[in-house]
Structure 1
Amino acid sequence: MSIARLPSRSEFIQVRGLRYHVRHWGNEDAPLIVMLHGWMDVSASFQFVVDHLQHDWHVIAPDLRGFGLTDTPGTDTYWFPDYLGDLDAVLQHYVPQGPVNLLGHSMGANVAGLYAGTRPERVRRLVNLEGFGLPATHAEQAPGRYRQWLDELRRPPSLRTYVSQAEVAARLQKTNPRLSDERAAFLSGCWAKQDSEGRWVILGDPAHKQTSPLLFHVEEVMACWRQITAPVLWMQADDTDVWHWMGPKEQAQAEIDRRLAHIPQLQKEMITNAGHMLHHDQPELLASLIEDFLLR
């Protein structure tokens, strides 16, 4: 039996020269939650959490640049600060003044965390779904990183296409075996579309696959996190699959905890029976925790 979905509507706005797709759920006069999706994902990824919210909310979720129905900037490299610039412009469009409730998953959570420390007056409460950051780097890695970037520029990346929407759904379930058939079918229609030849193509710019030539400076991120004035709800999955970014699980958890210690007002929640896509695996629990936190 198909699960009833709270309907969403699409809006397109101009953001820093790009035609941005923004998805809306709920009553526009209700309290606002802004949600930012992760890497190689789309705004519809939050549908299942939105479906379980019990109170009246206006949820808006943009497709970030180069994802979903938002324009690609036409570049061969994506610069992370542009996501902050886009978020600032999106908030300026919808809420020119005052703080908002901000939520992000994975890459979107990293954007949200940096933004909350850069413009603390604009964030009322922050929900971080596994915005770990990246492995720390050191200066000696710079020559190799630049060489890798230059080498990759010579052979632009491409994304696989699929025969059918069902094949796209199967691909999503391969990445996340917890994803039900019904949820995979829904997401596949938002994550990909049919081209003129009948193949299903992922709604993501292949340039996102390029290695960034810039090193990840974790101390800069921590400096931003220390400036966050909003209460922060951190949610982490007990079976997350991103540990390999930072080494063995025990080592990675110690590094994550070290980073989180820089956030002044932090509430931690471990979500059981969930992987990195915890908003797909446990949406009812997440919705409950999110509302308890935002309404406190």
Structure 2
Amino acid sequence: MQATPYLARRPHQSQFLTLRGLRHHVLSWGQPQPGRPSLVMLHGWMDVGASFQFVVDALQQDRHVVAMDWRGFGLTDSSGADSYWFPDYLGDLDALLDAVSPEAAVDLLGHSMGGNVVMSYAGVRPARIRRLVNLEGFGLPETIPAQAPGRLTQWLDELKQQPQLKTYGSLQAVAERLMKTNPRLSPAKAAWLAPHWSREIDGAWHILGDAAHKRSNPVLYRKAEILATWARIQAPTLWVEGDSTDMTKWWGDRYPRADFEARLAVVPSVRSVTLKDAGHMLHHDQPEELAEALAAFLG
């Protein structure tokens, strides 16, 4: 039996902005308020901006909130290229802030991949950020130059293949997929997310993500460059994680927790919060507790 979808307390408004030549889907809640910064939220890999609806509903004070579907996700155009490049996310974010808050600094929040983007952005555009929030944007394991030939070979081999994303026979099947990925997600929330996360084409439900995102990145992740960027962050920073998140599930022993703690230590001002009974999708698992942490930090 299909669940009744979650009822949003503060329904979002959708608009489309052309940023760097691509049509970006931008969601907003409320209106800009003089003297109060907008809160800009950026989602993670294989997610969409609507993913933040539950947290926005849990905020006790109505404020202007903006979320964007990254290029190649949700209703935003795909890049049209055969691979996606991390610097493009920084460029898209820069253009978004030019459009929605050209004069005033914003409060900036990112989850997972989005958390990594906002950390880098806050280091290269420090004056544009008043407060910074990173929801489990851990970064990636360190690499060494000797890995470059193999990575490039892997990328070239993948270019000869057409990546595919699985399709589903119904919205209910999409909702079940979301709950399989995150067992803490309630049927009502999954039913609400499913039509924002997929669309029907010729009788099948397709995930709103460009399959090209699955290709390996030929450019190695360079820890030294990340540390140099994070060290330039000026905004007070809030790090939030779930108590059930296990980094070893993603990287095994290639990325020890102590390595991440050392990276975070270079950020000048950090406050850390751990949410109970929450995993990587903590904004779905504990939106009320996350909203409380945001209220206390953002002021």
Match of 1:58 in 2: 64
Match of 2:298 in 1: 294
SS at match of 2:26: strand
Q: Does 2:218 match 1:219?
A: no
The one-character-per-residue Cα deviations of 1:211-258 (angstroms, maximum 9, x if unpaired) are 000100011111111000000000011111443344249x62211111
Q: Does 2:133 match 1:127?
A: yes
The one-character-per-residue Cα deviations of 1:89-142 (angstroms, maximum 9, x if unpaired) are 000011112311000000001000000000000000000000100111000000
Q: Does 2:43 match 1:37?
A: yes
Query: Partners of 2:91 and 2:266 in 1: how far apart?
Result: 23
Conservation of the 8 A alpha-carbon contact between 2:238 and 2:270: yes
Matches within 5 A, 1:79-94: 79-94=85-100
Match of 1:205 in 2: 210
Query: Partners of 1:59 and 1:207 in 2: how far apart?
Result: 29
**Which is worse superposed, 186-195 or 25-34?**
25-34
Conservation of the 8 A alpha-carbon contact between 2:50 and 2:193: yes
Matches within 5 A, 1:144-163: 144-163=150-169
The one-character-per-residue Cα deviations of 1:258-279 (angstroms, maximum 9, x if unpaired) are 1111110000111121110000
SS at match of 2:32: coil
Query: Partners of 1:150 and 1:21 in 2: how far apart?
Result: 31
Conservation of the 8 A alpha-carbon contact between 1:129 and 1:236: yes
Conservation of the 8 A alpha-carbon contact between 2:279 and 2:285: yes
SS at match of 1:64: coil
Q: Does 2:10 match 1:13?
A: no
Conservation of the 8 A alpha-carbon contact between 1:69 and 1:203: yes
Query: Partners of 2:211 and 2:70 in 1: how far apart?
Result: 14
Conservation of the 8 A alpha-carbon contact between 2:42 and 2:49: yes
SS at match of 1:115: helix
Q: Aligned-pair distance for 1:4?
A: 3.3
Q: Does 2:237 match 1:232?
A: yes
Q: Aligned-pair distance for 1:291?
A: 1.1
Conservation of the 8 A alpha-carbon contact between 1:149 and 1:210: yes
Equivalent position to 2:7, from 4, 9, 24:
4
Instruction: Give identity over the alignment, percent.
Output: 56
Conservation of the 8 A alpha-carbon contact between 2:136 and 2:240: yes
Matches within 5 A, 1:274-293: 274-293=278-297
Query: Partners of 1:160 and 1:116 in 2: how far apart?
Result: 35
Q: Does 2:175 match 1:179?
A: no
Unmatched 5+ stretches in structure 2: none
Conservation of the 8 A alpha-carbon contact between 1:25 and 1:58: yes
Conservation of the 8 A alpha-carbon contact between 1:8 and 1:24: yes
Conservation of the 8 A alpha-carbon contact between 2:38 and 2:101: no
Instruction: Return the letter of the residue paired with 1:290.
Output: L
Query: Partners of 2:6 and 2:289 in 1: how far apart?
Result: 17
Instruction: Return the letter of the residue paired with 2:17.
Output: I
How many residues of Structure 1 are paired with residues of Structure 2 in the alignment?
293
Q: TM-score, normalised by structure 2?
A: 0.95
Conservation of the 8 A alpha-carbon contact between 2:59 and 2:295: yes
Equivalent position to 1:114, from 115, 120, 123:
120
Conservation of the 8 A alpha-carbon contact between 1:27 and 1:56: no
Q: Aligned-pair distance for 1:3?
A: 4.5
Query: Partners of 1:43 and 1:268 in 2: how far apart?
Result: 24
Match of 2:170 in 1: 164
Unmatched 5+ stretches in structure 1: none
Match of 1:105 in 2: 111
Instruction: Return the letter of the residue paired with 1:4.
Output: L
